[in-house]
Amino acid sequence: MAHALDDLQILDFSRVLAGPLATMVLGDLGATVVKVERPGTGDDTRAWGPPYDDAGQATYFQSVNRNKESVVLDLRAPAGVQRARELAAGADVVVENFRPGVMAGLGLDEPALRAANPGLVYCSITGFGPGAGAVLPGYDLLVQAVGGLMSITGDPDGAPQKVGVALVDVITGLFAAVGILAALRHRERTGEGQRVEVDLLSALLAALVNQGSAFTLAGAVAGRMGNGHPSIAPYELFAAADGDLVIAVGTDRQFAALCDTVGRPELAGDARFATNDARVAHRAELREALEAALAARPAGDWADALTAVRVPAGRVNDIAGAFALAGELGLEPIVDVPRPDGTSARLTRSPIGLSRTPVSYRAAPPPLPQEAPAAT
């Protein structure tokens, strides 16, 4: 079966998460991805465990490296650099996330590679851009801190909190994939390659969406609200008889249905709660009234009852519960991806659905080759 990017050749110098995720997304769509790794250790995340899978590989590495081939090159040696240049000469896309200046020092920067391959799309992913931020280390936790995300995450009376996954890296990798595809579309029309630049800090600021525009347009600097929403109520976590329940009301109709379902229809007509603006202004009183009603039944019962009247509500799943829910809904969240030894790796399915050129799962993340190939 044809895939959208069957004819695309990608040379991937990136490590850890943002770059490897971007190239895996393109690999899932059919691109051939050759991953360049260091002798002996390979990608840093090969050692980021536990947990490890049944083949002894770190599950972190497995998460973003399927549909790739691996080649070991010592970029400190002339032969390794020469082999990298040869591979780049035949590539459509090069992706790297070294510190600014590293690839230039190796003679593998965009101008050097473009001289032999004018149509090359060269994607550089950095922590803080190539300017004054070039000296800063691009770690997801650091960017969550200095980029404002931790300041709006966590309990109002507690410490700032990071998100439970390296979300900035994930967002950056997705932006990088979009940028690469846009550059390839331009090349189709003009024959011109170009440079794609994405940095973690800019990607995070873009991903702040409404919290970012609240500052840029209104000068409002958000703080931590726990599970509350700055602009909508009720839209947070509530205590039911046996545990936590999320209710996410976005319209007055949903609010009226919520009030009817919990046995407090009069709340919908209360001037303090009749509109969203009023509910936001009186969220503490609204929360108290709703939790008094929700205490009568278990969270699962409320979730079922509210869902039946089209009010968004649900229990808080752990990760196992989340995968189970996706399975119950027919979303098939896990795919078995073949390994060279005939076994398979159970990995998370791509969320992209294409009716004509579907995602493919051709190869599990590769083991690290033992020897670097000689230059030709």
Per-residue pLDDT reduced to its tens digit, 219-229: 999 999 999 99
Number of structural domains in the chain = 2
Catalytic residue among 169, 242, 277, 304: 169
Domain that holds residue 297: 235-326
Phi, psi of 103 (to 5 degrees): -65, -35
**What is the structure's pLDDT at 56?**
86
- Whether 140 is catalytic is no
The CATH number assigned to the domain holding 133 equals 3.40.50.10540
Mean pLDDT is lowest, of 3-12, 53-62, 192-201, 202-211, for 53-62
Confidence tier at 370 by pLDDT (50, 70, 90): confident
Span 344-367, mean pLDDT? 96
Question: Looking at the predicted structure, is the pLDDT value of residue 372 above 60?
Answer: no
Shared domain check, 116 and 82: yes
Span 65-92, mean pLDDT? 97
- Residue 133 per-residue DSSP state: G
Give a yes or no: residue 276 inside a domain: yes
Would you call 89 helix, strand, or coil by DSSP?
helix
Two tokens, residue 234: 């009720």
Question: Looking at the predicted structure, is the pLDDT value of residue 18 above 60?
Answer: yes
185 burial (CB, 10 Å; 0-12 / 13-18 / 19+) is exposed
Q: Are 13 and 36 in contact (CB under 8 A)?
A: yes
The Cα 45–Cα 212 span in angstroms is 32
The Cα 329–Cα 333 span in angstroms is 10
Question: Looking at the predicted structure, is the pLDDT value of residue 1 above 90?
Answer: no
The Cα 144–Cα 158 span in angstroms is 17
Shared domain check, 116 and 245: no
Shared domain check, 54 and 24: yes
The Cα 223–Cα 211 span in angstroms is 10
**What is the structure's pLDDT at 112?**
96
Q: 138-141: long-range contacts at Cβ-Cβ below 8 A with a sequence spacing of 24 or more?
A: 138/97, 138/99, 138/199, 138/200, 140/17, 140/166, 140/167, 140/168, 140/169, 140/200, 141/166
Span 256-285, mean pLDDT? 97
Shared domain check, 171 and 122: yes
Shared domain check, 200 and 307: no
Q: Are 238 and 244 in contact (CB under 8 A)?
A: yes
Would you call 37 helix, strand, or coil by DSSP?
strand
**What is the structure's pLDDT at 371?**
64
Shared domain check, 161 and 23: yes
**What is the structure's pLDDT at 376?**
45
Shared domain check, 286 and 266: yes
Q: For residue 275, give every residue at least 6 positions away whose Cβ sits within 8 Å of its Cβ, in sequence order, or none.
A: 252
Shared domain check, 342 and 321: no
What does the mean pLDDT of the chain come to? 95
The Cα 80–Cα 366 span in angstroms is 20
Give a yes or no: residue 221 inside a domain: no
Shared domain check, 253 and 199: no
Alpha helices in the chain (DSSP H): 18-28, 59-62, 78-89, 102-106, 110-116, 140-146, 167-190, 200-207, 209-218, 252-261, 276-281, 283-294, 299-308, 319-328
Instruction: Give one DSSP letter per residue of 192-248, joined into a string.
Output: ---EEEEEHHHHHHHHTHHHHHHHHHH-------TT--SS-SSEEEEE-SSSEEEEE
Give a yes or no: residue 229 inside a domain: no
Per-residue pLDDT reduced to its tens digit, 301-353: 999 999 999 999 999 999 999 999 999 999 999 999 999 889 999 999 999 99
The fraction of the chain above a pLDDT of 90, given in percent, is 95
pTM score: 0.93
Question: Looking at the predicted structure, is the pLDDT value of residue 374 above 80?
Answer: no
β-pair type (244-248, 235-239): antiparallel
Question: Looking at the predicted structure, is the pLDDT value of residue 373 above 60?
Answer: no
